[in-house]
Amino acid sequence: MLKYHIINLASCRLCPRRAAGGKERRYMDQNDKNKSNKNNDRRRGVLSLLIWALVLTIGFNYLLSAMDTRKLAESTCEIRYDEFLDLVRDGKVKEVEIADRTLNITPVDGFTYTDADGKTYSGDFQLFTTQINDPELRSFLDENGVEFGKPYKAENDFFGRATALAVTGQLEAETYALAYKRVYTFGPTFRADNSNTKTHAAEFWMIEPEICFCDLNGLMDIEEDFLKSVVQEVLDKAMPELEFLQGYAKSNLIEKLQTLTQSHVARVTHAEAIDILQHATHPFEHPAVQGEDLFKEHEKYLTEEHFKSPVFVYDWPKEIKAFYMYQNDDGKTVRGVDLLVPGSGELMGGSERETRLDLLTGRMDELHISKEQMDWYVNLRRFGGCTHSGFGMGFERLIMYLTDIENIRDVIPYPRTPGNCEF
């Protein structure tokens, strides 16, 4: 359509000239012809320059490429893998890196290499070999003091900065909660903790609600109601499965779940929990100490021996909890809470979030957390906010509690744990 309109406009411009007669028309036609010839000559000149520029550019680039290729070919040499190993043993190798399915070898300064044809390589040159399937290579290089790979630079990473797998979606969820009041996330979580226990996995799924206008007490109410509603749903809709599991459970599984829905979950401070453990006659491998974390044996005793039910432990020591937890007036504890359940131990972990800018940034400074990189999070307090809280619940630990299965590896199809990543 556009081309059609352009053609019509050109025809309208020429129509008066075709209507003119005699000398005037011939004069006008001659002038047009002269102008046209000049314009054509000018176009040919420009076109010629462009063509020559293109030819010269292509030729110049070809020469540079050929020179670089020749230079590269002259500065590299392929060697046998056994020859490479001998060079390492003799202290002739400075650094090795894997690239393009080859081992690129940087010799030590001042080393001269002579190949089978008598050609000598010295100065700034590199060797390479193609065998890289040696499982003992890394330990062999370490033993001989050879650097493996180049120094790490975050800017060379895929994202252009240092990144890691997500350990939680909580911080991002807080931004949404302050906009939508109540939100939750449900997704994979990655923890590189070297905790090789029945309740730890390196990769698991977690449910993380975040609630505005909710303090610590309100959070514990929500956690309790949430757990009871899930348990009741399972009792109502999965009784045949529970009866099957009952045959393998060490305790009365169905009775345990039914009792939970009808009881009030106990609540004790961390200091009170430690005091209970210190006065217990049960022999613990690790003594309970005020201000320190609970061990699995402590969680097991509190839930299975003392309370015989789930229990909330809140107001934890500040020094062993995260920077974003609301600090109590004593300056020693924070409004964090763990829900402990029989079998799987900690099922939910949460807190009331710190809303005071000065205390939040001060805690970040104490833990050497960059406020610049976390400015988006700090701004949630800088430009106004509200009391809000949230918790995370490991989905696999919930399954452990509902089924009375003791090992988290048995509720994950392909478990990933310290020293194990088969899939």
Q: Which CATH architecture has domain 75-156?
A: 2-Layer Sandwich (3.30)
Fold equal for 75-156 and 170-410 = no
Give the residue from 161, 307, 311, 148 showing the smallest Cα distance to 224. 311
> With bands split at pLDDT 50, 70 and 90, how would you rate the model's confidence at 20?
very low
Q: How far, in Å, CA of 296 to CA of 30, rounded?
A: 103
Which helix (H) or strand (E) segment is 176 a member of?
Answer: helix 170-180
Q: What is the pLDDT of residues 97-115, one digit of tens each?
A: 887 668 888 999 889 998 8
Q: What is the pLDDT of residues 143-178, one digit of tens each?
A: 898 888 765 667 767 888 778 888 899 999 999 999
Q: How far, in Å, CA of 170 to CA of 350, rounded?
A: 10
pLDDT of residue 409: 92
Q: How far, in Å, CA of 388 to CA of 356, rounded?
A: 12
The residues that bridge with 341 in the sheet, in sequence order, are 345
Q: What is the pLDDT of residues 186-213, one digit of tens each?
A: 999 998 888 888 888 999 999 999 999 9
Domain coordinates of the chain in residue numbers? 75-156, 170-410
Q: What is the pLDDT of residues 72-81, one digit of tens each?
A: 445 788 888 8
Q: Which two tokens stand for residue 178?
A: 């302050």
pLDDT of residue 197: 86
The separation between CA 321 and the C-alpha centre of its own chain, rounded to angstroms, equals 21
Long-range contacts of 365-369 (CB under 8 A, 24+ apart): 366/323, 367/323, 369/323
Q: Which two tokens stand for residue 351?
A: 């807190």
Topology of 170-410 in CATH? BirA Bifunctional Protein; domain 2 (3.30.930)
Lowest mean pLDDT among 111-120, 168-177, 230-239, 391-400: 111-120
Q: Are the C-beta atoms of 414 and 404 separated by less than 8 Å?
A: no
- Secondary structure E strands in 58-202: 76-78, 93-99, 102-107, 113-114, 120-121, 126-129, 147-148, 182-190
